[in-house]
Amino acid sequence: MSSESDVNWKKTRDRGSPWLIDLIIWIILNLGRTSGRLFLFPIVLYFVLNSSTKAYSKHYLERNFEAANKNKPGFSSQYKHYYSFANMLLDRVFFLTGNTKKFNITLHNEHLITDFTQQGKGVVLLGSHLGNFDALRTLANKTYGMKVRALMYDNEQQNINRAFEKLNPQLKNDVIHIGTPDAMLKVQEDIQAGYVIGMLADRIEHDDRSVSCQFLGKQAMFPTGPLIVAYLLKAPVVLCFALHRGGNQYDVYFHKLRDRIDLPRQNRESQLQQLIQEYSNILQQHAIENPYNWYNFYDFWQDDV
């Protein structure tokens, strides 16, 4: 399924100039995280005032705050939302370069994934645009020796992705691009070799099939592709949310969805809808508790915002 809102976010997601991104990265790596965070204040203010995505940020925060029985968000809430996004990008620099000593990362229910990986079994790990998925990647490699690969669409034209690949050329080897002729063969081989295959399950891209689920008080479309891949791989499915709590604190939460996805032909669509609604419910819970960690800056509910 393709939608106008999908096109809109694709148009706005890569606004950063390469020289500006390179400058921010240089400041962080040479002056430190604190200086980098201070440098963000004027940049974030500019984007809150001028970004074409600010209406989507406001709409999301209104839905989130209403679900949490909070007062309506104002300008300061939008600023916190954009600042959280910018800070997440800065922290990615440290995670992707292996410079994580200053971070305090706490795992919750990590046995839900290590019970499989320590036996050499592959796992499908469903993440989202809530939080910083790279926090998990670094921790997995350093602490548990997990082999992690991402299955995603090819967004190599994004300035920020190109900058990150300069920092860590290994990133290209850690990604399998959806749509390439041998993508599923590579994923199958990785699962058999005990890899964790990470996918983001809260954004529709290209012609993804989708189902409608309740999320923050209204129906929204979620892709079915990640669960269909898990079904074909006959692998366990674990959900993961790596959330920034402020300062240098990250909390990584794991939730087991199924030991194995079963999609009987006679009720496949309803079973997919039920499973994705379970994912959506857990995503909503974490989004309400961590409202500024949400980085889907487009018309998520297709309300023509």
pLDDT in tens, the chain (305 residues): 333 334 343 444 444 456 666 777 787 778 788 888 888 898 899 889 988 889 999 999 999 999 999 999 999 999 999 999 989 988 888 888 777 888 999 999 999 999 999 999 999 999 999 999 888 877 777 777 888 998 988 764 466 667 777 777 877 788 888 888 899 999 999 999 999 999 999 998 767 789 999 999 999 999 999 999 999 999 999 999 999 999 899 999 999 999 999 999 899 999 999 999 999 999 999 999 999 999 999 999 988 66
> Is 300 among the domain residues?
no
**What residues have CB less than 8 Å from 194, skipping those under 6 apart?**
117, 120, 121, 122, 147
* Per-residue pLDDT, 178: 86
Domain count, the chain: 1
> Is 304 among the domain residues?
no
Contact 253, 286 (CB under 8 A): yes
> Is 148 among the domain residues?
yes
Q: Three-state SS for 194?
A: coil
**What residues have CB less than 8 Å from 170, skipping those under 6 apart?**
none
* Per-residue pLDDT, 179: 82
> What's the one-letter identity of residue 164?
F
Contact 106, 251 (CB under 8 A): yes
> Is 301 among the domain residues?
no
Contact 182, 231 (CB under 8 A): no
Both structure tokens of 128:
């989202």
* Per-residue pLDDT, 208: 77
> Is 256 among the domain residues?
yes
> Is 299 among the domain residues?
no
* Per-residue pLDDT, 72: 95
> Is 212 among the domain residues?
yes
Domain that holds residue 93: 4-293
Residue 245's φ and ψ, nearest 5 degrees, are -100, 0
Q: Three-state SS for 74?
A: coil
> Is 305 among the domain residues?
no
Buried/exposed code over 277-294 (b: 16+ C-beta within 10 A; e: otherwise):
bebbebbbebbeebbbbb
* Per-residue pLDDT, 290: 97
> How far is 125 from 89, CA to CA, in rounded Å?
21
* Per-residue pLDDT, 17: 55
